[in-house]
Amino acid sequence: TMPRFPFAEYDPDQANFDSPALPVAQNCVPSDGGYAPLSGIAIDDGTITGEVRGVIEYEYQGTRERFVGTATKLWRWDGAAYEDVTRTSGGNYTLGDTDFWSFEAFGDFILAFNGNDVPQKFDLSSATDFTALGG
């Protein structure tokens, strides 16, 4: 089993002075009653082209899902290699030299934002590629 560490609640918006909150939480994931260490992730297995600019790992219906973003593409780990799941309409993404991807998991969806392109969504129940979030 994974060790657990009973730190205070992660709350970066609290004042640092005399606060019981945890202002920084790096290389860990929320766990029952505290935080667990982030498991070792091999981001690049040789199939990803470009520098990694963002990652999300999410448990969906008992399966670990991992998505990786680069300056021009989004990738999904299929258990053996990364597959290109870049949007089919609209072509490659256009991140600047200092831009990164932000990901959020929401129900059946992985949402991806980079500040330059239209926000993207991936429906874990049926999608094969990212599409525009819309709305």
| Residue-level pLDDT at 43 | 58
Low-confidence ranges of the chain (pLDDT < 50): none
Q: What are phi and psi of 119, to 5 degrees?
A: -50, 145
Q: Of the candidates 67, 77, 60, which has an alpha carbon nearest to the alpha carbon of residue 103?
A: 67
Contact 32, 1 (CB under 8 A): no
Bridge-based pairing of strands 120-123 and 63-69 is: unpaired
pTM of the model: 0.68
Model pLDDT for residues 16-30, shown as the tens digit of each residue: 677 777 667 777 777
Tokens encoding 92: 């490659």
Tell me how far apart the alpha carbons of residues 111 and 126 are, in angstroms, rounded to a whole number: 15
Q: Give the Cα separation of 28 and 32 in Å (integer).
A: 13
